[in-house]
């Protein structure tokens, strides 16, 4: 029975000790300790979430970079293709122009040649005519050197007139 009968002295001292302990620890130990623990937990939490955010940002940047790179590549290909097209076009145009010019020049040359030929022909004709006249003059002069012949000619001519 002694064992389960609380002793008033021990009750008193326990109450006193516990009250003092509770007061001192509550004020000088638990409060700062709990505050420090929760503060540290908060800072760890925020550091973790910041790290997570940074990771996401990093991933976003990387994917953005990739996207950019892809776009750039496409653009480069486009530019190259465009350039090739332009080049081909320019070459084709140049070829056409050269052809046209050539044709034109050939045409002009032919016209020139024709002209020159015509002029030369006209000249030749004139000279032939002159020569023919001169030759005819010379022949006539020779034929009409003696009288007999002149007479004979007149006689021939007259014969022809008579016949008509």
Q: Does 20 contact other proteins by CB under 8 A?
A: yes
Tokens read off for 56: 């996401």
Stretch that binds other proteins, among 32-40, 58-66, 92-100, 125-133 (CB under 8 A): 32-40
Stretch that binds other proteins, among 8-16, 70-78, 120-128, 145-153 (CB under 8 A): 8-16
Contacting residue, 36, 54, 86, 153, with other proteins by CB under 8 A:
36
Q: Does 1 contact other proteins by CB under 8 A?
A: no
33-to-6, 18, 23, 30, 37 alpha-carbon distances in Å: 35, 19, 15, 5, 6
Three-state DSSP string of 83-150: HHHHHHHHHHHHHHHHHHHHHHHHHHHHHHHHHHHHHHHHHHHHHHHHHHHHHHHHHHHHHCCCHHHH
Q: Does 22 contact other proteins by CB under 8 A?
A: yes
Helices (H), 3-30: 8-25
**Least CB distance to other proteins at residue 45 (A):** 13
Which CB sits closer to other proteins, 19 or 139?
A: 19
Q: Does 100 contact other proteins by CB under 8 A?
A: no
Q: Which residues bind other proteins (CB under 8 A)?
A: 2-15, 17-18, 20-22, 24-26, 28-34, 36-37, 39-40, 43
């Amino acid at each position: 029975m002694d064992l389960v009968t609380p002793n008033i002295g021990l009750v008193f001292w326990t109450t006193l000790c516990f009250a003092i302990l509770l007061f001192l620890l509550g004020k000088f130990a638990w409060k700062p300790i709990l505050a420090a623990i929760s503060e540290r937990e908060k800072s760890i939490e925020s550091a973790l979430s910041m790290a997570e955010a940074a990771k996401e940002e990093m991933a976003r940047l990387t994917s953005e970079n990739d996207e950019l790179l892809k776009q750039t590549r496409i653009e480069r290909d486009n530019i190259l293709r465009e350039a090739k097209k332009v080049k081909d076009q320019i070459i084709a145009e140049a070829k056409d122009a050269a052809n046209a010019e050539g044709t034109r020049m050939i045409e002009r040359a032919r016209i020139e040649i024709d002209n020159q030929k015509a002029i030369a022909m006209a000249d030749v004709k004139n000279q032939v005519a002159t020569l023919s006249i001169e030759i005819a003059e010379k022949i006539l002069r020779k034929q009409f050197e003696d009288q007999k012949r002149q007479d004979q000619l007149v006689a021939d001519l007259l014969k022809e007139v008579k016949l008509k």
